[in-house]
Amino acid sequence: MNRHSAIRAAILAKLKADITDTVTWFDGRPVFLEEQDLPAVAVYLSDAEYTGD
């Protein structure tokens, strides 16, 4: 598992533990949402860059 996947997984796990309502979960930015997908939570990284570490 790469770092970005690990970061998203950790955030999703915490959100899923805290949000008890029924929602659709997306690991990554969804391309489109259907009405039946709402409410939805998407976890994605933007402007992620390699730091050399």
What is the structure's pLDDT at 49?
78
- The answer to whether residue 11 sits within a structural domain is yes
What is the structure's pLDDT at 17?
98
What is the structure's pLDDT at 50?
75
What is the structure's pLDDT at 12?
97
- The answer to whether residue 53 sits within a structural domain is no
- The answer to whether residue 48 sits within a structural domain is no
**Residue 42: φ, ψ to 5°:** -120, 135
Q: Which domain holds residue 8?
A: 3-43
**Residue 19: φ, ψ to 5°:** -100, 110
The DSSP code for 23 is -
- The answer to whether residue 34 sits within a structural domain is yes
CA distance 36 to 43: 19
pLDDT tens sequence across 7-52: 999 999 999 999 999 999 999 999 999 999 999 999 999 987 777 7
Number of structural domains (the chain) is 1
- The answer to whether residue 8 sits within a structural domain is yes
